[in-house]
Chain A
Amino acid sequence: MGLDIKIPIGLMFTIFGLILTILGLVTKGDTAMYEQSLGYNINLLSGLIMLVFGCFMLFTSRLFKKKTEE
């Protein structure tokens, strides 16, 4: 099918990753907010993982492939 699914997956997780990473950085040190997650800055952690995953999907997608392959 003409659309490479890696592109929307990569885009969405990059956006989610950015939102959570920034949120995590902004709320860093907010102990009240992260009390329920046992003190882990879970937004920053998840955000970074999503960012890495999203970028990986984008870089391996057809967007970044040489024309010879497809």
Chain B
Amino acid sequence: MQTTFSLSTIDWAIILIYFIFVLGIGWALKRYMKDSSAFLEAGRSLPAWVTGLAFISANLGAIEMIGMAASGAKYGMMTVHFYFIGAIPAMIFLAIFMMPFYYGSKARSVPEYLKMRFDEKTRGFNAFAFAIMTVFSSGISMYALALLAQVIMPLQIDWNIMGIHIGEFDFYLMVSAVIVLVYMVLGGLTSAIYNEVLQFFLIVIGFAPLVFIGLKEIGGWEGIKANLPENMMHSWKFTGSAGANPLGVEWFGVVMGLGFVLSFGYWTTNFLVVQRAMAAGSMSAARKTPLIGALPKMFLPALVVIPGMIALALSNMGELDIPLKAGTNIQDFDKVIPVLLMRYMPMGVLGVGITALMASFMSGMAGNVSAFNTVFTFDIYQAYIRPDKSDKHYLKVGRWTTVVGVLASIMTAYVARSFNNVMDFLQLIFAFVNAPLFAAFLLGMFWKRTTGHAAFWGLIGGTISAALHHGFTLPAGGSIGVKGGFFGLLHTYPSEMAQNFWTAIYAFSTALILTLVITLLTKKLKTDDELKGLVYSLTPKIKDDSKYWYQKPEFLAIIVGAIAIVLSIIFW
């Protein structure tokens, strides 16, 4: 099978039209960017359906599009855990219980909330960790885009500019960086959010035909079932013991590790997604944001996981060759989506499918840059470098931070290119930092006694305990190094996922216990009055301004929860 696409003029025209719209949105938004709030917080003015779609789209970058299709081929229906239990409960919790504090406190970022609730050092720790994480995530999306583009759109570029060699990879990297830079400098967070909404529809409309034809060829659900092992066709049925299912995790690890610690840590404290809800126009819209996002989120597996399963089933039938990883005889499941696009899409729809993939990578980049901007400008620059300047000054800094963010992302894209396991390494760091953070939020929001010292040392302790747990364990077949075991080997997990989930459980538990104990040993420095609006017991119950009962977030939450339960039963 050929390994490159041949794109026709029509496909190129579709890609070009998309770029014109992306830049056009930025250009149309330019005249509204009058102050730092408009640029970095979208003026807190967007309707709930826009922020809701952006909420899940910001996460729908290269890592999810490629990674979840690959997981579909590796773990089958077990992958839906990342969508149902691994996202929905956390989104409901964020909407109902946490959004009132985030939105009501008028904090401009998650680190700023930490400063209001706890103290300066907790904010600083989170702001710096988050800034580094976003730059790396953005760089990885950029790297994935350039990698994909050079495979599917070979241009034979071989330039030499002032002694620097520019190949296709460099060319696509620069093109994507320039486009993102331009629309972000012009329209700020609103630009990022609007393009995420555009991307969402592109992915749904661009990938639906792929899934449709794929299912037709394989013979529908029954056809997939006939060609995959039974333990890949269920989400819960084989979680009685870790060895019985392809994920290598038993139900407790799934529920606690993924469903509770990792999922809540990600969806409720990661400013990349929370920022979308904070940009909503009202408290009611902010609370509905994660719920409106949750509705399509539950059906995304049909577009990203099912293609992975179709590809593996076709490959088992001998109908499809999935390319091998360079120098090995292991199938490279990261290539599943491009391979299927190539197989089923004639010119025309092919252009739309490729545009959808590129849109996903570019907004994965832009989403991270927009979150980086806000945190850098408000929580690093305004907090530590130049406080007490005019708003005009911070607007200018916000614009320049975009440039810095994009440049830093380009650097990390090259780092990702030159080190094989940089992705593993980064996911590790995210797990180390995110899991303990949820402990600080949980205690901070619901126990008014929790002190700043306790939260800070809980975070540090949780991160250290994650590193220790990782350093003393290995996944089956893993070698000592970034996979773990660097402090000695005490335990071997059946899979990398199992190890990840348990690292998160250890980190969270350590952070929770440390924060509890240190709180009891330290003096409460903030008065009840200062904590008003930041802690559950000290905040008056908010009255929702929705006109009808069926527009209230609580009602929407029940619907979302019910659908998630029904889907879990269907795919038991």
Q: Which residues does A use to contact B, with CB under 8 Å?
A: 1-3, 5, 8-9, 11-13, 15-16, 19-20, 23-24, 33-34, 36-38, 40, 42-43, 45-47, 49-50, 53
The contact sample of 27 A-B pairs, CB cut-off 8 A, is: A1-B43, A2-B29, A2-B31, A2-B32, A3-B29, A3-B194, A5-B50, A5-B197, A8-B198, A9-B198, A12-B17, A13-B201, A19-B14, A20-B349, A36-B344, A36-B345, A37-B209, A37-B213, A37-B344, A37-B345, A37-B346, A38-B216, A38-B344, A40-B213, A42-B344, A42-B349, A53-B205
Contact A1 B32 (CB under 8 A): yes
Q: A1, B29: Cβ atoms under 8 Å? A: yes
| Chain B nearest Cβ from A33, distance in angstroms | 5
Q: Which residues between 312 and 368 of chain B lie within 8 Å of chain A, taking CB atoms? A: 343-349, 352
Interface pairs A-B: 3 shortest CB-CB: A43-B348, A23-B348, A2-B32
Question: Which residues of chain B have C-beta atoms less than 8 A from A50's C-beta?
Answer: 205
Give 1 or 0 for each of B10-40: 1 = CB within 8 Å of chain A CB: 1001100110010011001101100000100
Q: Are B352 and A12 in contact (CB under 8 A)?
A: no
| Also in contact, A45 and B209, with CB within 8 A (given A5-B197, A13-B201) | yes
Q: Does B45 lie at the interface of the complex (its beta carbon under 8 Å from any beta carbon of A)?
A: yes
Q: Is the CB of A23 within 8 A of B205?
A: no
B residues contacting A by CB (< 8 A) are: 10, 13-14, 17-18, 21, 24-25, 28-29, 31-32, 38, 42-43, 45-46, 50, 190, 194, 197-198, 201, 205, 208-209, 212-213, 216-217, 343-349, 352
Q: Which residues of A contact B352 (CB under 8 A)?
A: 16, 20, 46
- Given the contacts A5-B194, A45-B209, A46-B205, A36 and B349 also touching, CB distance less than 8 Å: no
Whether the pair A12, B344 counts as a contact (CB closer than 8 A) is no
Contact A9 B209 (CB under 8 A): no
Whole-angstrom distance between the alpha carbons of A8 and B32 in the complex? 17
Taking CB atoms, residues of chain B closer than 8 Å to A33 are: 346-347
**C-alpha gap A45/B209 in the complex (Å):** 9
Contacts of A45 in B (CB 8 A): 209
CA of A37 to CA of B201, assembled, Å: 22
* CA gap between A15 and B352 in the complex, in Å: 12
Secondary structure call for the A interface: helix
Contact between chains at A1 and B348 (CB < 8 Å) = no
When chains A and B are docked, how far (Å) is the Cα of A30 from the Cα of B32? 49
In whole angstroms, how far apart are the Cα atoms of A47 and B343 in the complex?
Answer: 19
Minimum C-beta distance from B75 to chain A (A): 28
Contact A53 B201 (CB under 8 A): yes
A36 to B217, CA, bound (A): 10
Complexed CA–CA distance, A9 and B197 (Å): 8
- Given contacts A1-B43, A1-B46, 11 further A-B pairs with CB under 8 A are A1-B32, A1-B38, A8-B194, A8-B198, A13-B201, A15-B17, A19-B14, A36-B345, A38-B217, A43-B346, A53-B201
**Which residue of B is nearest A47, CB measured?**
B348
Q: Is the CB of A19 within 8 A of B13?
A: yes
Given A1-B46, A19-B13, are A46 and B349 neighbors across the interface (CB < 8 Å)?
Answer: yes
Please name the residue on chain B nearest to A23 by beta carbon.
Answer: B348
Are B24 and A8 in touch, CB under 8 angstroms? yes
A residues in contact with B10, CB < 8 Å:
19, 23
Residues in A with CB closer than 8 Å to B197 are 5, 9
Chain A CB within 10 A, most for which of B38, B45, B50, B349: B349
Q: Name B217's closest neighbour in chain A (CB-CB).
A: A38
Query: Which of chain B's residues have a CB closer than 8 A to the CB of A23?
Result: 10, 347-348
CA–CA, A10 to B205, complex, Å? 13
For A49, give the chain B residue with the smallest CB separation: B205
Q: State whether A46 and B198 are in contact (beta carbons under 8 Å apart), knowing that A3-B25, A20-B349, A33-B346 are contacts in the complex.
A: no
Q: Is the CB of B209 within 8 A of A1?
A: no
A19 touches B42 (CB 8 A): no
Closest chain-B Cβ to A14's Cβ sits at a distance in Å of: 11
Interchain CB contact under 8 A, A19 and B205:
no
Query: Given A1-B42, A8-B25, A42–B346 Cβ distance below 8 Å?
Result: yes
Min CB distance B378 to A, Å, is 20
- A42 partner, pick from B13, B194, B345, beta carbons under 8 A: B345
Q: Which of A1, A24, A33, A46 has the most CB of B within 10 A?
A: A1
Residue of A11, A12, A38 with most partner-chain B CB within 10 A: A12
Q: Is the CB of B344 within 8 A of A19?
A: no
Rounded to whole angstroms, the CA-CA distance of A42 and B208 in the bound complex is: 11
